Chain A
Amino acid sequence: MELALWTYEGPPHVGAIRIAASMRDVHLVLHAPQGDTYADLLFTMIERENRRPPVTWTTFQARDLGSSTAQMVIDTLEGVCERYHPQVLLVAESCTGELLQDQPGALAKGANLSAPVIPIEMAAYTHKENWGASETFYQLVRGLLAARALKPGETKAPRGADQPPSVNLIGPTKLGFRCRDDVVEVQKLLEQMGVRVNVVAPLNATPRDLLRIPDADANVNLAPEVGDLTCDWLKRQFQQPIISTVPMGWGATRDFIAEVSETLGLDIDVDSVGDSRLPWYSRSVDSTYLTNKRVFIFADGTHAIAAARVARDEMGFEVVGLGTYSRERARDVRALAKEYGLEALITDDYLAVERAVEALQPELVLGTQMERHIAKRLGLPCAVISTPAHVQDYPARYSPQMGFEGCNVLFDTWVHPLIMGLEEHLLTMFRDDFEFNDTAAPSHLGGEGGGSHQPDAVAAVAETTETDEPGAIAWAVSAEKELRKIPFFVRGKARRNTEHFAIENGLSVIDVETLYEAKAHYSR
């Protein structure tokens, strides 16, 4: 039993719904109690989908238990075939359905339905949403393609001389973070390289499209949380190599181009494919203020790994915390964190993440909707870089995270919550201006995500007062006054550093001298 306030991932059957909702001509029947249908709103409200996910639920109630729930499964399956004529029927259970042990997969297989059935075992009490999406997509692809796999000893036919090189984009789904736009951007990139995109799946694919997957030269594993299992299977069964660089960030996009070129045996100059404004924006003088801003990153594995590289190498931030809720990616994130001199935070406990942010006091939080809560509570700037996300993170505008346009989007999105370089100076200049002070939020933030407005917690003491508590630190009035002259957005850090310095040096009262001693001590 595990106590959860907010969760990063839904149950595995929500992952199955994501696959069904992403595709065309697939229908999912879920053996689930009344109430589980709330999942519709994830798609129709949060992502503003204009159609209901293609899911029909048995919605059993107490009166059905023990007698008719198995019959409800069969009736539902038959009704769905009659009404929707799906090319493939997926059958699964939600957590409660699983407890009834009606085995809807077996019932469906025996029901002589007009559509081919692929049952999915969810194991709802051990797994979560991304696992469910990955498993469902894998079972679907395997179910459709297993019969066509290469026989032992057989090798994949080489591409015809007149055929353009081609790849599949594997993994993008509904409710994924910016998948809609990432697919477009990556397709553009590949088009520039003369590479044909054979199938994009599951997003907007039909089961018939999945049958064409083996025609491509390689698979791009665009969303490893969903695509890993399937890409591995396709590699084994169809000898399709995996292109595993996720093109998120400037360096990663160039690496992606290089990996595609190498995998497909193309001779392509990376510089000729395209470029982003990110390098110049990052090198322009206004960005100097970004240098070593302390950034905390928590996201799904893919977005956390990509963000760390962009943050350090392309924005010039200092990554002070790195973590993920994707246990499947724990090894990768741990290894990367080590490279950054950090201990990775691998958890799906929102409170543990909150404690980490509170302790690290970063200047920018890059996270999910949950970290947005945390940052808001702590008064820290934040940008959302990963699911789970809110309705506003499914924007109307074109807003990819991948490819060269994705770099531009990342630069803007991450810089926007911060106080801009020039504004930083103006804030200092006009510190005492009545409208332009440290209680007014920066002009462009409109009350959202603003700077650190935490009230200074420690009350000043009279010049010579000492406290009775051992180890307690008191601020002399003069030092407190001096502290207030420091711009508010670094004041919290200055206060903490000074107190830390005082403790380390066994001081009980902080005066102006201590403040500057500490400043000198910590200056970089």
Chain B
Amino acid sequence: MTELIARTENANAPEVITERGERAVFCGLTSIIWLHRRIQDAFFLVVGSRTCAHLLQSAAGVMIFAEPRFATAILGERDLAGMADCNEELDRVVSELLARRPDIRRLFLVGSCPSEVIKLDLANAAARLQGDHDNRLRISAFSGSGIETTFTQGEDQCLASMVPDLPTAQDATPRLMVVGTLADIVEEQFRRHFTQLGINEVDFFPAARADDLPAVGPGTRILLAQPYLGDTVGALRKRGAKLISALYPLGIQGTLAWFQAAAAEWGCSAETVQESLAIPIARAQKALSRVRTSLEGKSLQFLPDSQLEIPLARFLSEECGMSLVEVATPYVDQSLMAEELARLAEDVRVVEGADLDSALARVRANRPDLTVCGMGIANPLEAEGLRTKWSIELVFTPIQGFDQVADLAGLFSRPLVRERQLEVGSWS
């Protein structure tokens, strides 16, 4: 099923084609894997099935040797048949958990497909549990279910669930709020850049500590570090915040435009930003030029997965010289993606949604030099002689900002370099 659903304001932006069919993407629960590393005193309790628990440990690769700060309350037959009161059971499990982990300052009850289908009201449960544990920690709920959320959207739901807890700003003094999970090292770099630009009123949300909640109000200017935070933006807007529309900080151009958009709010010109950040920009250009040689002229196809596809396509075509065969993304939120879409060439095929088998058929027909896809699909394509990059690496690796530009490009060049390097039989 294919239809034209939207064309951006910009007449030169590519059409967005919608596909419906089998979707080979993670659900929003997967976001917990990076969220629990970011918010270091938070615990994520999924209320779901054995499948949810199995997904989390499979996607996390069972690589975390410490006790994880996430767990699953697995619904059983007794819960579903009404023989056990789900709410009482949940209270018991939460008490058990909190007794084990006295260090936890925030608990997220995370909704799943089964909990939503049986209409278990976790927001209500969170409010009730908050009453029981009032002084010790905050408890809130969000959905990471596959029926509601795709992969990175889990982070959107998580952050949106925290917005009501943000304190109200005392006055309307402009204050920047960078929204979206970033690695600590990237946050530190960005803070230094903002200081260089004379912007000192900067908060990062989410912060490394759950209690570190930035104030929000009419002075708040939102700058998105991640492109999948539509509901969080909506919730912040309701609290008076304003969104700074910008490219996302991927690649040199993206990162520069991102800082320029923020700085403009502080009355700082684009030229001034470029001058102030000249050193990291030059460093990034130098580092990127070495990687670029492996990417230039190579063709690239994105299968829908992380929601980062459109900004990455912009970076890889504009700054790395790759040619875009197809850019597919789970969904297109025009309000967050318009600027990025406008930067893609008009004839690029942009697909929203998925129909796995037909997408794979196109990959086989196009035989791009590189396919960006989900983890489950990568090896089968490799075995067909196609080079791939699994997209989950893009959410686990620091890729934003000037000093990560070469690392980001390196994620894409490595499979191509490897192909040239290996002399052990054929790939397929």
Q: Known contacts A7-B53, A62-B147; can you find 13 more A-B pairs with CB under 8 A?
A: A2-B73, A10-B50, A33-B147, A34-B150, A35-B25, A35-B113, A36-B51, A38-B55, A95-B51, A99-B114, A99-B118, A377-B65, A377-B66
Q: Are B68 and A95 in contact (CB under 8 A)?
A: no
Residues of B within 8 A of A38 (CB): 26-27, 30, 55, 58-59, 376
| Given A61-B147, A96-B117, A40:B77 Cβ within 8 A | no
Most buried by B among A11, A35, A390: A35
Nearest CB in chain B: distance from A44 CB, A: 4
Closest to B384 in A: A50
Which residues does chain A contribute within 8 Å of B80, judged by CB atoms?
A: 99, 125
Interface assignment of A42: CB less than 8 Å from any CB of chain B: yes
Q: Is B232 an interface residue (CB 8 A)?
A: no
Residues of A within 8 A of B65 (CB): 373, 376-377
Shortest beta-carbon distance from B44 to chain A in Å? 12
Does any Cβ of B come within 8 Å of A56's Cβ? yes
Contact B62 A4 (CB under 8 A): no
A6: interface (CB < 8 Å): yes
Q: In the assembled complex, which residues on chain A have CB atoms less than 8 Å from the CB atom of B416? A: none
| Interface presence of A52 (CB below 8 A) | yes
Q: Which of B76, B86, B113, B383 contacts A126 (CB 8 A)?
A: B76
Proximity bits, A29-62, B CB within 8 Å = 1, else 0: 0000111111111111110111110001111111
Interface flags for B97-124 (1: CB within 8 Å of A; 0: not) read 1000000000000000110111000000
Closest chain-A Cβ to B47's Cβ sits at a distance in Å of 8
Question: Which residues of the other chain, B, contact A99 by a CB distance below 8 angstroms?
Answer: 80, 114, 117-118
A128, CB-defined interface residue at 8 Å? yes
Q: Is the CB of A194 closer than 8 A to any CB of chain B?
A: no
Interface pair B49/A125, CB less than 8 Å apart: yes
Of the candidates A1, A51, A100, which one forms a contact with B86 in the assembled complex, judged by CB atoms under 8 Å apart? A1
B133 beta carbon closer than 8 Å to chain A: no
Chain A residues within an 8 Å CB radius of B30 = 35, 38
A59 to chain B minimum Cβ distance, whole angstroms, is: 4
Nearest A residue (CB) for B71:
A5
How far, in Å, is B352 (CB) from chain A's closest CB?
Answer: 14
Q: Kindly state the separation between the CA atoms of A369 and B378 in the bound complex, as whole angstroms.
A: 24
**Residue B146 interfacial (CB < 8 Å):** yes
A interface vs B, CB < 8 Å?
A: 1-7, 9-11, 13-14, 33-46, 48-52, 56-62, 65, 76, 79, 83, 94-96, 99-100, 123-126, 128, 369-370, 373, 376-377, 388, 390
**Which B residues lie within 8 Å of A62 (CB)?**
116, 147-148
Interface of B is mostly: helix
Contact A4 B146 (CB under 8 A): no
- Does B27 lie within 8 Å of A35, measured CB to CB? yes
- Whole-angstrom CA separation of A376 from B67 in the bound complex: 12
Question: Does B72 count as interface, using CB distance less than 8 angstroms?
Answer: yes
Kindly report which residue of chain B lies nearest to residue A389, judged by CB atoms.
B62
Q: Can you list 12 A-B pairs, Cβ within 8 angstroms, ordered by A? A: A1-B73, A6-B57, A33-B147, A45-B379, A52-B380, A58-B22, A95-B50, A96-B49, A96-B51, A100-B117, A125-B80, A128-B50
Chain A residues, Cβ within 8 Å of B22: 37, 56-59, 76
Q: B73's contact among A3, A76, A123, by CB below 8 Å, is which?
A: A3
- Interchain CB contact under 8 A, B93 and A11: no
For residue B145, CB closer than 8 A to chain A, the reply is: yes
Q: Is B23 part of the binding interface, using a Cβ–Cβ cutoff of 8 Å? A: yes
Asked if residues B146 and A36 are in contact (CB atoms below 8 Å), the reply is yes
Contact, CB under 8 Å: A50 / B379 = yes
Bound Cα distance from A10 to B92, whole angstroms: 24
Name A51's contact: one of B92, B147, B375, B383 (CB within 8 Å).
B383
Contact of A96 among B29, B57, B97, B114 (CB under 8 A): B114
Are B357 and A83 touching (Cβ within 8 A)?
yes
Q: Which residues of A contact B97 (CB under 8 A)?
A: 3
With both chains docked as a complex, state the minimum distance between the C-beta of A453 and any C-beta of chain B, in angstroms: 15
Shortest distance from the beta carbon of B404 to any chain A beta carbon, whole Å: 25
Interface status of B75 (Cβ within 8 A of chain A)? yes
Q: Tell me which residues across on chain A come within 8 A of B26, comparing CB atoms.
A: 35, 38
B55 touches A35 (CB 8 A): yes
Verify B146–A44 contact, CB threshold 8 A. Answer: no
In the bound complex, residues from chain A placing their C-beta under 8 Å from that of B145 are 33, 35
Q: How distant is the Cα of A129 from the Cα of B166 in the complex, in angstroms? A: 42
Residues on A with C-beta less than 8 A from B61 are 390
The verdict on A44 contacting B117 (CB below 8 Å), with A1-B79, A1-B92, A34-B147 known, is: no
Closest to B64 in A: A373
Residue on A with the closest CB to B85? A1
B423 at the interface (CB under 8 A from A): no
- Could you say which residues of chain A place their CB within 8 Å of the CB of B73? 1-4
The chain B residue sitting closest to A42, CB to CB, is: B58
The minimal Cβ–Cβ distance linking B396 to chain A, given in whole angstroms, is 14
Measured between alpha carbons, how far is A39 from B24 in the docked complex, in Å?
10
Check B3 for interface membership: any CB of A closer than 8 A. no
